[in-house]
């Protein structure tokens, strides 16, 4: 049984008098010890997907269909109290822009302590405090800095503190939403290295949400590409993104465009290509493929029929008419 099973999930937002489907019947799995990356541009629904797992969506959002099963527990429809028991202990979240994700008027060690005592009220003070220092040590923050306030930390340190806090209750799943955005390049590398290390040392499954392909390539075993609320491609990172000596086997034009947009530091000096246009208006009904307007390989059928899910190889699927044509 997979650790996390998302089946046919849809998330709707109520905006003004309109209903907007940010996540449209998406399914994915995360196995124990696996790191899965979700990539896509802003507004593709990846953050909503991530937030819906521990059910942290804003009040104007609702899960309109599908199930989310974590370690056998069905999360959709759970009461707030039951959810609170699972939050942080089974699934923890590391937010993007840790700029403001830590309470500015509380000391860092106090905030981590709170996470521990909230789920284990009977824990002894000394034991808890020792754990706090242990966690900070794990992410490379010296015990002398534990009593600092968040604004006294650099961006990278704050992100690391957030990760330390996330591990406080030994969760099975860590969801990281844009963990490297708003950080300088050196800090980015540090965080990614940390995530990779912790994955193994803490026996953690990771779901990493990012628009940065390079980050996902660094950390994740599998990659899910999202566009305008749906999944357009999924496969192992090695296969979809390629690596040294092995070209990318991505099938969906959007994935290919994303890869083009990321200059390869180690490989050839390719010109980074942007993708013109913007995602479709999700408040209006969509006919055919959502990517049709921007797709360089668009065909007439793309505008009339929704594309099928094509299995290209074991574990590698793409939702595309072109891929369907090629597979035949």
Residues of this chain that interact with other proteins (CB under 8 A) are 13-17, 20, 22, 42-43, 45, 47-48, 51, 54, 56, 58-60, 80, 83-89, 92-93, 95, 97, 99-106, 114-115, 118-119, 149, 151, 162, 165, 279, 282-283
In the bound state with other proteins, the residue whose beta carbon lies nearer, of 105 and 142, is 105
DSSP symbols for 136-195: HHHTT--GGGTT--GGGS-HHHHHHHHHHHHTTT--SEEEEESTTTTS-HHHHHHHHHHH
Compute the least distance from the CB of residue 147 to other proteins, in Å: 11
Q: In what order do the strands lie in the sheet with 230-236?
A: 91-94, 173-177, 205-210, 35-39, 222-227, 230-236, 316-319, 309-313
- Comparing CB distances to other proteins, the nearer of 97 and 242 is 97
Q: Strand 35-39 relative to strand 222-227: parallel, antiparallel, unpaired?
A: parallel
Question: 100 or 273, CB closer to other proteins?
Answer: 100
d(CA 173, CA 94) in angstroms, rounded, equals 11
| Chain centroid, CA 17 distance in Å | 29
For residues 192, 196, 202 and 205, what is the CA-based torsion angle, rounded to 10 degrees? 90
Pick between residue 85 and residue 303 the one whose CB is nearest to other proteins: 85
CB of 103 to other proteins, least distance (A): 5
- E strand spans, the chain: 4-15, 18-30, 35-39, 61-70, 73-74, 91-94, 173-177, 205-210, 222-227, 230-236, 309-313, 316-319
Rounded to a whole number of angstroms, the minimum distance from the CB of residue 156 to other proteins is 17
| CA 122/CA 315 separation, integer angstroms | 45
Q: How far is CA 226 from CA 35, 116, 169, 177, 218, in A?
A: 17, 35, 30, 14, 19
Q: How far is the CB of 271 from other proteins (least distance, A)?
A: 27
Q: What minimum distance in Å lies between the beta carbon of 130 and other proteins?
A: 20
Residue with Cβ nearer other proteins (11 or 220): 11
Q: How far apart are CB 302 and other proteins at their closest, in Å? A: 23
CB of 82 to other proteins, least distance (A): 10
User: Min. distance of Cβ 278 from other proteins in angstroms?
Assistant: 9
Of the pair 12, 233, the CB lying nearest other proteins is at: 12
Cβ nearer to other proteins, comparing 49 with 194: 49
3-state helix, strand, coil in the chain (%, to 5): 35, 25, 40
Query: Quick one: 101 or 214, whose CB is closer to other proteins?
Result: 101
């Amino acid at each position: 049984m997979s650790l996390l099973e998302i089946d046919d999930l849809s998330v709707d937002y109520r905006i003004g008098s309109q209903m907007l489907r940010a996540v449209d019947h998406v399914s994915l799995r995360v196995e124990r010890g696996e790191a899965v990356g979700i990539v896509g541009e802003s507004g593709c629904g990846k953050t909503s997907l991530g937030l819906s797992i521990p059910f942290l969506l804003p009040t104007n959002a609702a899960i309109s269909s599908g199930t989310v099963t974590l370690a056998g527990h069905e999360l959709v429809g759970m009461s707030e109290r039951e959810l609170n028991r699972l939050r942080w202990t089974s699934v923890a979240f590391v937010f993007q822009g840790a700029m403001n994700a830590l309470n500015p008027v509380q000391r860092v060690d106090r905030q981590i302590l709170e996470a521990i005592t909230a789920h284990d009220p009977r824990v002894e003070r000394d034991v808890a405090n020792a754990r706090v220092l242990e966690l900070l040590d794990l992410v490379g923050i010296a015990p002398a800095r534990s009593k600092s306030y968040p604004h006294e930390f650099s961006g990278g340190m704050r992100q690391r503190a957030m990760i330390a806090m996330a591990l406080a209750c030994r969760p099975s799943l860590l969801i990281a939403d844009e963990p490297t955005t708003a950080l300088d390049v050196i800090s980015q590398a540090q965080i990614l290295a940390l995530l990779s290390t912790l994955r193994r040392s803490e026996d953690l499954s990771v779901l990493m949400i990012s628009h940065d392909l390079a980050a996902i390539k660094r950390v994740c075993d599998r990659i899910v590409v999202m566009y305008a609320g749906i999944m357009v491609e999924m496969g192992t990172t090695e296969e979809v993104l390629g690596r040294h000596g092995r070209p990318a086997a991505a099938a969906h034009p959007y994935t290919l465009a994303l890869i083009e947009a990321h200059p390869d530091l180690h490989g050839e000096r390719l010109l980074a290509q942007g993708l013109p246009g913007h995602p479709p208006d999700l408040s209006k009904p969509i006919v055919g493929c959502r990517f049709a307007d921007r797709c360089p390989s668009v065909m007439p059928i793309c505008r009339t029929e929704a594309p099928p899910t094509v299995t290209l190889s074991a574990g590698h699927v793409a939702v595309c008419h072109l891929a369907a044509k090629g597979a035949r």
